[in-house]
Amino acid sequence: MKTELMQRGSVVLVTAGASGIGRAIAEQFLAQDCAVHVCDIDESAIREFSEANPNATATQADVSLVADVDRVFDDIESRYARLDVLVNNAGIAGPTGNIEDIDPADWDRTIAVNLGANFLCSRKAARYLKRNGGSIVNVSSNAAFTGCPGRTPYAASKWAISGMTKTLAMELGRFGVRVNAICPCSVEGDRIDAVISRDAKRLKKTEADIRGIYQRQSSLRRFVTAGDVANMAVFLASESGRYVSGQAIGVDGHTESLSNWLDD
């Protein structure tokens, strides 16, 4: 539902914006009459997104790579010559396992995508946002509140995003730029389904058992939806959120614990 939160014509970049949470965020900004550009590593997802949202623009890119991020911002410059909102949504689940079993290559890839991409995109966006003010919204996780046993690379990357969020809010605040992080609990969709499947195999439990354990981590006993995350992203970037900055905001139904999945 359109709520008239955003200034019409605001230019928004959503990373990993062609599917899942990113697509929900991009489409919510489109519903606010924003000019939306998405980037995504998946060309087929971009095609599907573009067919459904012909008013949006897109770049195929892996935002953990400097050259790809440069290309995304070249497209932003040529098409819009401005940027008002950056949503750093790109992220991966990373490996599941005890610390001694984590492959260093999996660690490196998780940090590169979940943290490095935020740095690379924020670095390029800052020069635009400092001109007229604006907003950076980082999609983090409730793992940044508690830690997450068995998901060391993922949790480490999300805690680091909180530090980056606070620091950039300090650096950019005097230019009228607000920086916040959204920390959802498990989000309904393919990513959490894959994590549940891996955990079930590793712990020799059923997927239904693992799903129930994850749902009981939240006081509301359910997963968040991509739409819930999208609503918060628009709020934080909007005039209604004009005095919210430097915050890591839970959209998680109140996380009670992320450790009980290990309990017998």
Residue 218 pLDDT exceeds 80: no
Q: How many domains does the chain have?
A: 1
In the block, which residue shows the tokens 């393919």? 190
The answer to the question of residue 205 being in a domain is: no
The answer to whether 214 is a known catalytic residue is no
Check residue 211 and give its pLDDT: 85
Cα maximum dimension of the chain:
56
Spatial contact of 85 and 21, defined as CB atoms under 8 Å apart: no
The answer to the question of residue 75 being in a domain is: yes
Which two three-digit tokens encode residue 74?
């070249």
The answer to the question of residue 238 being in a domain is: yes
Q: What mean pLDDT value characterizes the chain?
A: 91
Check residue 200 and give its pLDDT: 87
- Which has the higher per-residue pLDDT, 212 or 65? 65
Spatial contact of 20 and 191, defined as CB atoms under 8 Å apart: yes
Which two three-digit tokens encode residue 99?
């610390």
Check residue 220 and give its pLDDT: 80
Expressed as residue numbers, the domain containing 99 is 11-186+225-255
- Which has the higher per-residue pLDDT, 188 or 180? 180
pLDDT tens profile 54-111: 999 999 999 999 999 999 999 999 999 999 999 999 999 899 889 999 999 999 999 9
Check residue 4 and give its pLDDT: 54
Per the residue annotation, which of 154, 162, 186, 238 is the catalytic one? 154
Residue 264 pLDDT exceeds 60: no
Per the residue annotation, which of 10, 135, 158, 162 is the catalytic one? 158
pTM, two decimal places: 0.90
CA atoms lying within 13 Å on the CB side of residue 148 = 26
The domain that contains 119 carries what CATH number?
Answer: 3.40.50.720
The answer to the question of residue 246 being in a domain is: yes
Express as a percent the part of the chain with pLDDT over 90.
71
Check residue 165 and give its pLDDT: 98
In the block, which residue shows the tokens 């971009």? 46
**In this structure, is the dihedral angle defined by the CA atoms of residues 91, 93, 98 and 102, taken in order, positive or negative?**
negative
- Tell which residue, 196, 94, 117, has the closest CA to residue 164: 117
Show the CA angle centred on residue 110, arms to residues 261 and 18, nearest 5°.
Answer: 95
CB contact burial 217-250 (16+ within 10 A = b; e otherwise): bbeeeebbbbebbbbbbbbbbbeebeebbbbbbb
The answer to the question of residue 193 being in a domain is: no
The answer to the question of residue 106 being in a domain is: yes
Per the residue annotation, which of 140, 141, 162, 238 is the catalytic one? 141
The answer to the question of residue 23 being in a domain is: yes
The answer to the question of residue 202 being in a domain is: no
The answer to whether 186 is a known catalytic residue is no
* Helix 152-172 vs helix 117-132: crossing angle, to nearest 10: 20
Express as a percent the part of the chain with pLDDT over 70.
95
The answer to whether 158 is a known catalytic residue is yes
**From residue 188, how far is each of 20, 215, 235 by CA, in Å?**
9, 11, 21
Residue 216 pLDDT exceeds 50: yes
